Amino acid sequence: MKIEVKTISDLTAQEFCQIAQERIKVFVVEQNCPYQEIDELDEAAYHLLLKDDQNNLVGYTRIINKNAKPITFGRVLVPKQYRSHQYGRLLVQATIEKAQELFPNQSIQIQAQAYLENFYHSFGFEPISDVYLEDGIPHLNMKFGVD
């Protein structure tokens, strides 16, 4: 497994197309949630790609610093054919580590799908909100680290 972290200008056109296709498959089609999947945050984000030894994309997240604390990450995905191999755990751990490296001494706050609360809690995230609907899907805010 290898982890690559790139800005939008570092991604090749092929890489960005692959990321966009996977994000739309997961977040729009699978979750039946029509919304503007590619957005202005992509330009400012660090894109973390988890690739296997054959250079296949097996996981993706984007890390965002909105010029204020806390840091956030999202669009956490593992393509369907690679699920049940623990790549999600590897992906989230790598994302936390990279976020801490890029933005030391800052907390990380995410909008987690409610059914993943225990998953994120296993990394040290704590809920900081009640469950709410985001695009018709139950979410909650969770926080990791220092203020």
* CATH number of the domain where residue 9 is located: 3.40.630.30
62 is a domain residue: yes
22: which 2 tokens?
Answer: 């996977």
80 is a domain residue: yes
142 is a domain residue: no
In degrees rounded to 5, what are phi and psi of residue 36?
-75, 90
Domains held by the chain: number: 1
What is the domain range of residue 91?
A: 2-104
147 is a domain residue: no
18 is a domain residue: yes
110, 141 in Cβ contact below 8 A? yes
Q: What is the pLDDT along the chain (147 residues), one digit of tens a residue?
A: 999 999 999 999 999 999 999 999 999 899 888 888 899 999 999 999 999 999 999 999 999 987 767 899 999 999 999 999 999 999 999 999 999 999 988 899 999 999 999 999 999 999 999 999 998 899 999 999 866
- Side chain identity, residue 82: Y
Give the CA distances from residue 100 to residues 2, 20, 79, 97, in Å, rounded to whole numbers and listed in that order: 18, 25, 25, 5
Instruction: Report the distance separating Cα 44 and Cα 59, nearest Å.
Output: 20
The two beta strands, 137-144 and 57-64, are unpaired
110 is a domain residue: no
Instruction: Report the distance separating Cα 63 and Cα 48, nearest Å.
Output: 7
131 is a domain residue: no
